[in-house]
Amino acid sequence: MDPIAELRSVSKDTDFFIGIDSDGCVFDSMEIKQKECFCPNFIKHYGLQVVSKYAREVWEFVNLYSKTRGCNRFLAVICSLDLLRHRREVKVRNADIPQLPQLRAWIEEESKLGNPALKAKVDATGDAELEMIYAWSIDNNARVTDMVHGLPPFPGVADFLAAVQGKADAIVVSQTPLEALVREWEENKIDHLIKMIAGQEHGTKTEHLKYAASDRYDAEKILMIGDAPGDCKAAKGNDTMFFPIVPGREEESWERLNAEGLERFFNGTFAGEYQAQLLAAFDEALPEMPPWQS
C-alpha cells in the first residue's frame, strides 16, 4: 500500500489521537544503537579512522546530545561530516572529510529518506557515492539486528498504553526503519496496543501526523510524544500538542505524563501555559552548540 494511503487508512475510533516516537522515547535504545552500531560504521564506511576520536564525539553530539538528536540517519551523516570538517583537530591532521554532493542532492529531492528510496535511486543512477551510503545504511541495520535486543520499554510506558486504550487512537511515529520497529514492539508484546507502526519508509514525522491525524481530529486533541526536537517540530508543523520525554530524565517524564499530562490532554487543559512550560524545559535540555566550540 502507498505510505500516504496507509497512514490515512488508520481507523478513527475516538476523538483523540496520539503519536508516539520509539527509540529513546518508548525504548532506552538510543545509546546502544548510536554508540555501538551507527558510530563504528560511520567511521568505517566514511574513512574517518585517522580522526576516529573526533568523529565519535561529533556523531554522538549530533545524534544523542544536541538539538539534532533523533534526526534521520542520512541527515545525521551530513551534519556530522560538516561539524567534523571544521574542527581544529581535524584540520591539523589534514584529514579528508567527504563532501557527499550526491547525498545532499538526494536529500533535497526525496522526502522518504529511507533505504527503499535510496536503493531505487542507486538502481536508477548507478552512482558510486550513493551506493556506498546505501551499503553503510544496510550495515547499520544488520548491526542493530545483531546487537540490539532484550530492551524493555521505559517504566511507565505500559501503564500509559493501557490508559489510552479506548480513549485515543495511537500509532508509532518514528524515523527508524520499519523492520526494526516491528521487531522491537513485537518482542515486547506491546504492538497490539497501537494501531499502526510508521517508520522512515512512511516519510517524515511531520507527514505521519499530517496524513494520519491532522485533517481528521481537532488540533488540541492530537498529541505527539517524543524525546527529540524533531518530534517537537513534527507537532508544531501540524499545530498539535507535544509532550517531551526529556533525555536523561525519561522515567521522570513518563511518570509526569501518566500523573498529569494525559489527564490534561483529555480534559482540554494541556494547551497554553502547561504546554509552554513543557516546551521551555525541553528546549533547555539539549544544547545547540557543541562543547568544542564553546
pLDDT by residue (tens digit) across 229-279? 999 999 999 999 999 999 999 999 999 999 999 999 999 999 999 999 999
Residue 265, burial from CB neighbour count under 10 angstroms (0-12, 13-18, 19+): buried
Q: What is the pLDDT of residues 62-99, one digit of tens each?
A: 999 999 998 889 999 999 999 999 999 999 999 999 99
Q: At 1, is the pLDDT very low, low, confident or very high (cuts 50, 70, 90)? A: confident
Q: For residues 195 and 89, state if they share a domain.
A: no
**CATH at residue 209:** 3.40.50.1000
* Pairing mode of beta strands 222-226, 241-244: parallel
Angle between helices 73-85 and 101-109 (to 10 degrees): 140
Band (pLDDT 50/70/90 cuts) for residue 182 is: very high
Q: Are residues 22 and 115 in the same domain?
A: no
Looking at the structure of the chain, the number of domains it has is: 2
If pLDDT is split at 50, 70 and 90, which confidence band does 200 have?
A: confident
**Where would I find the beta strands (DSSP E) of the chain?**
17-20, 169-173, 196-198, 222-226, 241-244
Residue 291 belongs to some domain of the structure: no
Q: Which domain holds residue 242?
A: 3-29+153-285
User: What's this model's pTM, rounded to 2 decimal places?
Assistant: 0.86
The residue from 101, 130, 147 where one domain ends is 147
Tell whether 75 and 161 lie within a shared domain: no
